[in-house]
């Protein structure tokens, strides 16, 4: 489904990704872990097409298409979904209105007629149950005045509505209490099936107790330095990131660790 | 970034769809302004002597006045002798019903989306249609008459209801209130007149559609609405004009009178031709709109969506004279290319316990300048007056300007006045978030702009809200939740 | 029409007595402007709410040189001195003229230099003075400001060196005392001074005003402050003189990334107009502007502020609060301007007012003029009366109404008071306010 080959990316002249390779197949759940500043969120934003990040080398194919040539909205139309680490507020635009626009834009791309009000409402009711979404949030302005947990739930709710092939969850667990985390995980697990892949980006192992990954990768200093199964996450939990640091510094001596503020 | 900007530009640069000209014979008076022209206009309209005298008095006042220079707008001097002050589409005299209307005119209004066929109208909106200087049709007149509502052209009102016109014309906007009001008082040609008797709730929206068609003409309409005790009326106003290279002057006056416990809701969607992308042509829209809450607990509410005109200069105001009366002003002003808007309101609190609310949303794009100018005055006698004002500006691109000039004058110690203003732009992160959900830039900008303006949109009657959303160049297909 | 021909005479007199003065051409140019513009009336947009034309009905004397002044009691001088004055650099001006015999410059020459403008123009500082003196003229286009410039004479030039013992140290406080001696004549004083805070310098300035005598006085005072890169300037203005009529202009020109913290406090006066300009002409300037006007009687205070953002990434915060009692009238006119270049500007402005009497009034006009899109600007203003719930709450706790009122008013003023950074000065001002609120009850 997704094939990332030797991706290098930079922003403001600062190199952040330095040769990432990753393949994700339908039905798989991958987790990318790593310390702050390792480039995890950059990878998510590069996949989604944020213009601030310039890809200087490498290629990415998504269902065989050259992903880097697609606009952010076409990547979405092709089935890529990013649950944002910091969901954005859009004053005056109700959550319903926003999602309806998104759903119908996606349908338009695939040559489908827009959903009428009744069908849309029915679909929304059904998906709301998945994430225990409160009805009142739907009429409020998009993310405006939402708590951290409400914002994250709203992300998962949109994911449920848009039914993507590849869902990238960027630090969806950050700032969530345990109840909210369970709800979010339940939403994600319900959507998990053999046609859909999920890429979890997280700093902590905690989320992986609820959404069990098939593969775990460690991103460090812009490269994937270790890959393994969920046991790798446990190992990281136990030893911390320091052992990765030591390990990679001895093996990848050419690249000096940099202090990267933006992840 | 450049691409982004050009998308923003394109989104708001939707071409003007109402720019066609109707080919119809027009009866005009010669160019220029003098007493004879005023006499000629008055004669053409078969006006009584008192009306002519009123006009001549206004003209004498106008001659002594100077064009205001304080608005934050710039334009070359207007040659008042180069304007035609009266132009009327020629048609059969005295229409018995809409069916008698010239088919060419009917087609024009169909094209503009104004259906004059009463039976076809589901929403029940009575329309008075003013083309150039005269009213050409008024629908639902008979049905309204049955419940005592007078809804007709100003010309007819002068003929048929002189006592009402004499009593109220110029009572809210005195004939020499300002330069353009004085000019209007001298040369106004038509407009709508509306009288709601005591205790009547007008069952349908009343509406006037203004259309400039003829070349080199100015449009000077005059609207007067009187709501007697405990009555209610919602009034809508729309306007369009052909695309022409020259600037055309529109100097209207609207007066509203709300008596005890009466309520008038006045909504405008102003879409005069704004000029082309280089700033050539377009309407100079210099309008005086004012209402008086004359009676106890009366209410006047102005809602405006200003998207057209090369220059807009208007301040729909409310004089809160009756105790416990309420004034409201909701405004969206969108300027693009080289458009200039200096618009806002005045809330003059005279009575006790009076309340006013101002919500202004300015959207500037291209090379345009958009100013909010407002006055809130609580006089010494206006004890317990309350005002809340919110003025927000949204800038699209870095070649435009957004300005806020609120004046607040409080002369008693029991009043509470609050004013807030913000300026912002559409964030890159907002656009990216929308795109990631599969919404393209154009739709995203429209969505965000519409969200920004929502508080005002909500004030518009349904039918107008739809048109207004379109006017904000928003492709909201299927996104209204 | 006001007869201003006596001003012409005084001007001619001044020019004649200083024919080869470096300042003569600046004065001539300004006087032509004054003649053209005249005294602004209420139709002048910037003077809409403040009538100054009646202040010019008198024929005022002007002290054209310092020598003509007669002695002022030491006890009077001591009574007006600010806290910590014995540690401070103190500059005394009488009727607009700098009186060096009364003044004490305690800083050393490598910390601070004070010389007269004509002297400065003959010194190594000539280029600096020429470049900066009159920068405010571009922003204040009215006859009153031109009038001050027309009479620039022997005001002082102050050069603040970046020479400090410890990083974070401030120089000694710099105190300006403006005294109007109106024992014998109606006086128009027009002090005009220039401070140049060199790159990396740190200075704390306070200006205060006093009057002796009972004849009419009008002060039309201008201070221009040039704030260079990495300089830090604190400025306080204290106006607490009954019946003093003042037009007081303070013009900050931040030429590089620098910090300005300015506060004006008005407790008493006749007709007062304060112009405070902040010209942010360097990228990343940080500017703070505060004001408190606590007025009664027939005092009229008009605070006009301008924050002109000319370069990117500047931050400004402005808060003015007013309490008007009896027949007092307040005016606030705050303009934030963001020029095309000034992307990423953050500018906030707030004006809050309390009216305590049926006869008091306030006119407030916060303005935004924005020409750049990537900015965050907001302004807000409120007019109201004392919070009745709070009053009731205090009274219910047994605090008598008058005390409750004083307490709440002081709390209202506190937002501004806490912005007076030097402890001694803050305590001094707090005492003035406490006295005032009790006296009032």
**Any domain includes B7:** no
Q: Which residue of C has its CA nearest to B407?
A: C365
Number of domains in chain A: 1
Q: What does residue C234 show for φ and ψ, rounded to 5 degrees?
A: -110, 140
- For residue C439, pLDDT beyond 60: no
* DSSP-assigned beta bridge partners for residue A83: A169
* Nearest-neighbour CA in chain A from B414: distance (Å): 33
Q: What is the mean pLDDT of residues A119-131?
A: 88
What whole-number distance in Å separates Cα of residue A106 and Cα of residue A125?
19
**Any domain includes B454:** no
Higher pLDDT pick, A245 / C321: C321
The helix-helix angle for C24-37 and C143-150 (nearest 10°) equals 150
**Any domain includes B110:** no
What whole-number distance in Å separates Cα of residue C84 and Cα of residue A55?
63
* Residue matched to tokens 């950050």: A174
Contact between residue B340 and residue B366 where contact means Cβ atoms under 8 Å apart: no
Higher pLDDT pick, B89 / A181: A181
CB atoms within 10 A of CB B123: 9
Q: What does residue B161 show for φ and ψ, rounded to 5 degrees?
A: -130, 55
pLDDT per residue as tens digits for the range B339-368: 899 999 999 999 999 999 999 999 988 888
Q: What does residue A94 show for φ and ψ, rounded to 5 degrees?
A: -70, 155
Q: What is the mean pLDDT of residues B103-130?
A: 60
Number of domains in chain B: 1
pLDDT for residue A245:
75
Q: Label residue B317 by pLDDT band (50, 70, 90).
A: very high
Of the listed ranges B264-268, C187-191, C242-246, C403-407, the least confidently predicted one is: C403-407
Question: What are the Cα distances from residue C220, in Å, to C78, C152, C192, C208?
Answer: 24, 12, 9, 14
**Any domain includes A115:** no
- For residue B242, pLDDT beyond 80: no
Cross-chain CB nearest to C385 (options B409, B414, B418): B414
Residue numbers of the domain that contains A179 = 2-93+161-262
* Interface present between B and A (3 or more CB pairs within 8 Å): yes
Contact between residue B151 and residue B165 where contact means Cβ atoms under 8 Å apart: no
Question: What are the Cα distances from residue A103, in Å, to A71, A112, A170, B302, C433?
Answer: 17, 11, 21, 36, 62
- For residue B11, pLDDT beyond 50: no
Residues of B in contact with C373 (CB under 8 A): 395-398, 400, 425
* Nearest-neighbour CA in chain A from B461: distance (Å): 18
* Interface present between A and C (3 or more CB pairs within 8 Å): no
CB pair distance less than 8 Å for B453 and A87: no
Q: Label residue A78 by pLDDT band (50, 70, 90).
A: very high
CB pair distance less than 8 Å for B439 and A102: yes
Residues of C in contact with B356 (CB under 8 A): none
Closest CA to B428 of A36, A149, C410, A72: A72
- For residue A22, pLDDT beyond 60: yes
Between CA B112 and CA B117, with CA B116 as vertex, the angle to 5 degrees is 130
Contact between residue B410 and residue C385 where contact means Cβ atoms under 8 Å apart: no
What whole-number distance in Å separates Cα of residue C298 and Cα of residue C441?
17
Residues of C in contact with B416 (CB under 8 A): 382-385
CB pair distance less than 8 Å for A141 and B451: yes
Residues of C in contact with B399 (CB under 8 A): 340
Closest CA to A15 of A223, A244, A242: A223
Q: Label residue B209 by pLDDT band (50, 70, 90).
A: confident
Q: What is the DSSP string of B104-147?
A: HHHHHHHHTT----GGG-SS-EEEEEEETTEEEEE-SHHHHHHT
* Nearest-neighbour CA in chain C from B240: distance (Å): 30
First CA to last CA across chain A, in angstroms? Answer: 25
pLDDT for residue B168:
96
Residues of B in contact with A75 (CB under 8 A): 436
Closest CA to A259 of A40, A41, A15, A57: A15
What whole-number distance in Å separates Cα of residue B261 and Cα of residue C41?
42
CB pair distance less than 8 Å for B436 and A72: yes
Q: What is the DSSP string of B25-65?
A: -EEEPPSS-SHHHHHHHHHHTT--HHHHHHHHHHHHHHHT-
pLDDT for residue C167:
61
The helix-helix angle for B2-12 and B441-457 (nearest 10°) equals 50
CB pair distance less than 8 Å for C361 and B410: yes
- For residue B2, pLDDT beyond 50: no
* Nearest-neighbour CA in chain A from B449: distance (Å): 9
What whole-number distance in Å separates Cα of residue C209 and Cα of residue C244?
9
**Any domain includes A197:** yes
**Any domain includes B24:** no
- For residue B480, pLDDT beyond 60: no
- For residue A253, pLDDT beyond 60: no
pLDDT per residue as tens digits for the range C109-142: 989 999 999 999 999 999 999 999 999 999 998 9
B439 part of contact set with chain A, CB < 8 Å? yes
Residues of A in contact with B432 (CB under 8 A): 48, 50-51, 72, 88
DSSP code at position B72: S
What whole-number distance in Å separates Cα of residue B376 and Cα of residue C375?
27
Please tell me the number of Cα atoms within 13 Å of C39 on its side-chain side.
Answer: 16
What whole-number distance in Å separates Cα of residue C194 and Cα of residue A263?
49
Of the listed ranges A214-218, B83-87, B321-325, the least confidently predicted one is: B83-87
Contact between residue B354 and residue B325 where contact means Cβ atoms under 8 Å apart: yes
B404 part of contact set with chain C, CB < 8 Å? yes
CA dihedral sign, ordered C148, C361, B318, B290:
negative
Contact between residue A37 and residue A14 where contact means Cβ atoms under 8 Å apart: no
* Residue matched to tokens 């109404």: C401
Q: What is the mean pLDDT of residues A236-252?
A: 72
What whole-number distance in Å separates Cα of residue C297 and Cα of residue C244?
13
pLDDT for residue C245:
95
Q: What is the mean pLDDT of residues A179-196?
A: 88
Q: Which residue of C has its CA nearest to B384?
A: C384
Q: Label residue C440 by pLDDT band (50, 70, 90).
A: very low
Residues of B in contact with A87 (CB under 8 A): 433
A104 part of contact set with chain B, CB < 8 Å? yes
pLDDT for residue A130:
79
CB pair distance less than 8 Å for B438 and A73: yes
pLDDT for residue B278:
83
Higher pLDDT pick, B321 / A93: B321
Contact between residue B385 and residue B354 where contact means Cβ atoms under 8 Å apart: yes
Please tell me the number of Cα atoms within 13 Å of C356 on its side-chain side.
Answer: 20
* Nearest-neighbour CA in chain C from B475: distance (Å): 24
Q: Which residue of C has its CA nearest to B395?
A: C373
CB pair distance less than 8 Å for A92 and B432: no
CB pairs under 8 A between A and B: 99
pLDDT per residue as tens digits for the range B403-462: 999 999 999 999 999 999 998 888 888 999 999 999 988 888 888 888 898 889 888 877
Closest CA to A81 of A128, A32, A48: A48
Cross-chain CB nearest to A97 (options B441, B453, B481): B481
pLDDT for residue A174:
79
- For residue B1, pLDDT beyond 80: no
CA dihedral sign, ordered A220, A222, A224, A230:
positive
- For residue C277, pLDDT beyond 50: yes
CB pair distance less than 8 Å for C371 and B404: no
Q: Which residues contact A263 (CB under 8 A, 6 or more apart)?
A: A36, A37, A38, A39, A40, A41, A42
pLDDT for residue A259:
42
Total residues found in chain C within this entry: 441
Cross-chain CB nearest to B395 (options C366, C373, C383): C373
pLDDT per residue as tens digits for the range B155-173: 899 999 999 999 999 999 9
- For residue C363, pLDDT beyond 60: yes
Substitution target in C373, C381, C384 with the highest count of B β-carbons within 10 Å is C373
pLDDT for residue C166:
67
* Nearest-neighbour CA in chain A from B24: distance (Å): 42
Q: What does residue B284 show for φ and ψ, rounded to 5 degrees?
A: -90, 115
B5 part of contact set with chain A, CB < 8 Å? no
pLDDT for residue B477:
28
pLDDT for residue B132:
65
DSSP code at position B466: H
- Per DSSP, the three-state class of A4 is strand
Q: Which residues contact B234 (CB under 8 A, 6 or more apart)?
A: B202, B205, B206, B265, B267, B461
Q: Label residue A263 by pLDDT band (50, 70, 90).
A: very low
* DSSP-assigned beta bridge partners for residue C208: C177, C238
* DSSP-assigned beta bridge partners for residue C302: C273, C331
CB pairs under 8 A between B and C: 107
* DSSP-assigned beta bridge partners for residue C48: none
Parse chain C into domains and list their residue ranges.
Answer: 1-282, 304-385, 387-441
Task: Give exposure, C409-422, as e/b (b: 16+ Cβ within 10 Å).
Answer: bbebbeebbebbeb
What whole-number distance in Å separates Cα of residue C360 and Cα of residue C328?
5
Chain C residues in contact with chain B using a Cβ-Cβ cutoff of 8 Å: 45, 340, 343, 353, 355-358, 360-385
- For residue C168, pLDDT beyond 70: no
Of the listed ranges B84-98, C354-368, C411-425, the least confidently predicted one is: B84-98
What whole-number distance in Å separates Cα of residue A210 and Cα of residue A186?
8
Residues of B in contact with C370 (CB under 8 A): 393, 395, 401-403, 423
Cross-chain CB nearest to B478 (options A49, A51, A100): A100
Higher pLDDT pick, B97 / B272: B272
DSSP code at position A151: H
Question: If contacts are CB pairs under 8 Å, which of residues 440-469 in chain B contact chain A?
Answer: 440-441, 443, 447-448, 450-455
Of the listed ranges B110-119, B373-382, C88-97, C249-258, the least confidently predicted one is: B110-119
Q: Which residues contact C230 (CB under 8 A, 6 or more apart)?
A: C199, C200, C256, C257, C258
- Per DSSP, the three-state class of B379 is coil
B171 part of contact set with chain C, CB < 8 Å? no
A90 part of contact set with chain B, CB < 8 Å? yes
* Nearest-neighbour CA in chain B from A20: distance (Å): 22
What whole-number distance in Å separates Cα of residue B207 and Cα of residue B194?
10
CATH of the domain at A196: 3.40.50.300
Question: What are the Cα distances from residue B9, in Å, to A4, A144, B430, B452?
Answer: 35, 27, 17, 17
Question: Can you say how many angstroms the Cα of residue B268 is from the centroid of all Cα atoms in its chain?
Answer: 5
Share of chain C above pLDDT 90, in %: 72
pLDDT for residue C17:
87
Closest CA to C271 of C239, C237, C303, C302: C302
Question: If contacts are CB pairs under 8 Å, which of residues 407-426 in chain B contact chain C?
Answer: 407-425
ipTM of the complex: 0.86
Q: What kind and span of H or E run contains C74?
A: helix C74-80
Q: Label residue C260 by pLDDT band (50, 70, 90).
A: very high
Residue numbers of the domain that contains B249 = 30-85+138-426
DSSP code at position C86: G
Report residue B294 as tokens: 């004359």
What whole-number distance in Å separates Cα of residue A203 and Cα of residue B479?
36
Contact between residue C272 and residue C300 where contact means Cβ atoms under 8 Å apart: yes
């Amino acid at each position: 489904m997704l094939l990332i080959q030797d991706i290098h990316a930079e922003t403001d002249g600062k190199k952040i990704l330095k040769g990432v390779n990753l393949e994700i197949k339908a039905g798989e759940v991958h987790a990318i872990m790593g310390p702050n500043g390792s480039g995890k969120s950059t990878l998510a934003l590069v996949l989604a097409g944020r213009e601030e990040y310039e890809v200087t080398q490498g290629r990415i194919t998504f269902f065989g298409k050259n992903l880097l040539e697609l606009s952010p909205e076409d990547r979405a139309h092709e089935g890529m979904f990013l649950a944002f680490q910091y969901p954005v507020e859009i004053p005056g635009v109700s959550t319903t209105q926003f999602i309806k626009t998104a759903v119908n834009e996606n349908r338009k791309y695939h040559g489908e007629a827009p959903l009428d009000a009744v069908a849309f409402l029915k679909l929304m009711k059904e998906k709301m149950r998945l994430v225990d979404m409160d009805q009142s949030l739907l009429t409020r302005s998009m993310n405006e005045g939402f708590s951290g947990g409400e914002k994250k739930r709203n992300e998962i709710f949109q994911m449920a509505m848009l039914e993507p092939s590849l869902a990238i969850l960027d630090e969806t667990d950050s700032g969530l209490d345990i109840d909210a985390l369970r709800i979010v995980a339940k939403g994600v697990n319900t959507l998990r099936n053999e046609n859909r892949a999920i890429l979890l980006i997280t700093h902590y192992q905690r989320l992986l107790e609820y959404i069990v990954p098939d593969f775990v990768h460690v991103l460090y200093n812009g490269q994937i330095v270790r890959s393994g199964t969920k046991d790798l996450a446990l190992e990281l939990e136990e030893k911390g990131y320091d052992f990765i640091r030591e390990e990679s510094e001895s093996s990848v001596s050419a690249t000096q660790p940099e202090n990267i503020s933006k992840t | 970034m450049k691409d982004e900007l050009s998308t923003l530009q394109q989104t708001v640069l939707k071409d003007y769809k109402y720019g066609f000209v109707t080919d119809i014979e027009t009866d005009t008076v010669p160019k220029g302004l003098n007493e004879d022209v005023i006499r000629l206009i008055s004669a053409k309209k078969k006006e009584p002597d008192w009306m002519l005298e009123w006009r001549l008095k206004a003209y004498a006042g106008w001659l002594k006045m100077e064009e205001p220079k304080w608005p934050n707008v710039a334009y070359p001097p207007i040659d008042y002798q180069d304007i035609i002050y009266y132009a009327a589409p020629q048609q059969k005299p005295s229409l018995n019903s809409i069916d008698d209307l010239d088919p060419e005119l009917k087609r024009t209004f169909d094209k503009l989306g104004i259906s004059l066929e009463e039976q076809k109208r589901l929403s029940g909106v009575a329309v008075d249609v003013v083309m150039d200087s005269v009213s050409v049709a008024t629908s639902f007149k008979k049905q309204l008459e049955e419940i005592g509502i007078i809804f007709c052209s100003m010309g007819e009102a002068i003929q048929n209801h002189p006592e009402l016109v004499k009593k109220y014309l110029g009572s809210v906007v005195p004939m020499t209130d300002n330069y353009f009001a004085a000019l209007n008082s001298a040369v106004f040609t038509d407009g709508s007149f509306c009288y709601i008797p005591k205790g009547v709730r007008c069952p349908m929206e009343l509406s006037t559609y203004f259309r400039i068609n003829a070349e080199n003409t100015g449009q000077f309409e005059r609207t007067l609405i009187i709501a007697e005790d405990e009555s209610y009326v919602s009034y809508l106003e729309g306007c369009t004009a052909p695309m022409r290279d020259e600037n055309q002057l529109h100097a209207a006056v609207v007066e509203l009178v709300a008596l005890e416990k009466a309520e008038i809701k006045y909504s405008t969607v102003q879409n005069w031709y704004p000029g082309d992308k280089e700033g050539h042509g377009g309407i100079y829209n210099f309008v005086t709109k004012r209402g008086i809450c004359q009676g106890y607990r009366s209410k006047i509410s102005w809602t405006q969506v200003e998207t057209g005109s090369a220059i807009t200069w208007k301040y729909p105001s409310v004089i809160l004279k009756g105790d416990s009366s309420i004034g409201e002003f909701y405004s969206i002003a969108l300027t693009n290319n080289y458009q200039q808007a200096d618009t806002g309101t005045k809330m003059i609190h005279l009575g006790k316990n009076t309340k006013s609310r101002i919500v202004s949303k300015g959207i500037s794009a291209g090379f345009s300048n958009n100013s909010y100018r407002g006055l809130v005055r609580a006089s010494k006698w206006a004890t317990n007056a309350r005002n809340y004002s919110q003025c927000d500006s949204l800038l699209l691109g870095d070649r435009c300007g957004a300005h806020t000039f609120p004046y607040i004058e409080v002369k008693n110690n029991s009043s509470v006045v609050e004013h807030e203003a913000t300026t912002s732009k559409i964030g890159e992160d907002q656009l990216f978030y929308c795109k990631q959900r599969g919404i393209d830039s154009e739709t995203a900008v429209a969505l965000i702009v519409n969200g920004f303006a929502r508080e005002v949109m909500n004030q518009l009657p349904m039918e107008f809200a739809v048109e207004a959303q379109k006017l904000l160049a928003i492709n909201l297909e299927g996104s209204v939740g | 029409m006001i007869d201003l021909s006596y001003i012409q005479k005084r001007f001619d007199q001044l020019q004649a007595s200083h024919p080869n003065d470096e300042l003569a051409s600046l004065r001539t140019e300004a006087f032509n402007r004054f003649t053209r513009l005249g005294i602004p009336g209420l139709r002048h947009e910037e003077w809409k709410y403040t009538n100054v034309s009646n202040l010019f009905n008198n024929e005022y004397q002007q002290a054209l040189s310092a020598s003509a002044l007669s002695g002022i009691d030491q006890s009077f001088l001591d009574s007006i001195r600010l806290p910590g004055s014995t540690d401070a650099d103190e500059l005394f001006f009488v009727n607009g003229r700098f009186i060096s015999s009364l003044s004490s410059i305690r800083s050393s020459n490598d910390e601070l230099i004070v010389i007269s403008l004509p002297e400065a123009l003959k010194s190594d500082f000539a280029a600096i003075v020429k470049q900066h003196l009159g920068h405010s003229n571009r922003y204040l286009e009215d006859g009153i400001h031109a009038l001050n410039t027309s009479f620039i004479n022997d005001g002082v030039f102050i050069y603040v060196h970046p020479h400090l013992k410890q990083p974070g140290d401030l120089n000694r406080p710099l105190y300006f005392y403006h005294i109007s001696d109106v024992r014998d004549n109606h006086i128009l004083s027009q002090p005009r001074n220039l401070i140049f805070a060199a790159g990396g310098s740190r200075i704390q300035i306070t200006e205060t005003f006093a009057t002796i005598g009972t004849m009419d006085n009008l002060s039309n005072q201008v201070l221009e402050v040039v704030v260079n890169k990495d300089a830090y300037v604190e400025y306080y203005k204290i106006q607490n003189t009954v019946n003093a009529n003042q037009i007081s202009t303070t013009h900050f020109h931040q030429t590089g990334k620098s910090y300005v913290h300015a506060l004006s406090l008005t407790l008493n006066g006749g007709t007062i107009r304060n112009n405070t300009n902040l010209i942010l002409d360097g990228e990343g300037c940080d500017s703070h502007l505060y004001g408190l006007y606590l007025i009664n009687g027939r005092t009229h205070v008009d605070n006009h502020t301008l924050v002109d953002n000319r370069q990117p990434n500047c931050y400004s915060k402005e808060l003015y609060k007013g309490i008007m009692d009896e027949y007092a009238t307040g005016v606030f006119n705050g303009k934030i301007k963001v020029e095309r270049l000034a992307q990423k500007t953050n500018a906030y402005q707030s004006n809050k007012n309390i009216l305590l009497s049926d006869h008091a009034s306030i006119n407030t006009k916060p303005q935004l003029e924005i020409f750049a899109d990537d900015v965050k600007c907001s302004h807000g203003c409120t007019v109201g009366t004392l919070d009745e719930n709070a009053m009731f709450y205090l009274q219910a706790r047994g605090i008598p109404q008058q005390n409750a009122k004083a307490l709440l008013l002081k709390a209202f003023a506190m937002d501004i008071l806490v912005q007076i950074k030097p402890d001694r000065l803050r305590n001094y001002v707090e005492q003035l306010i406490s006295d005032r609120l009790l006296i009032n009850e």
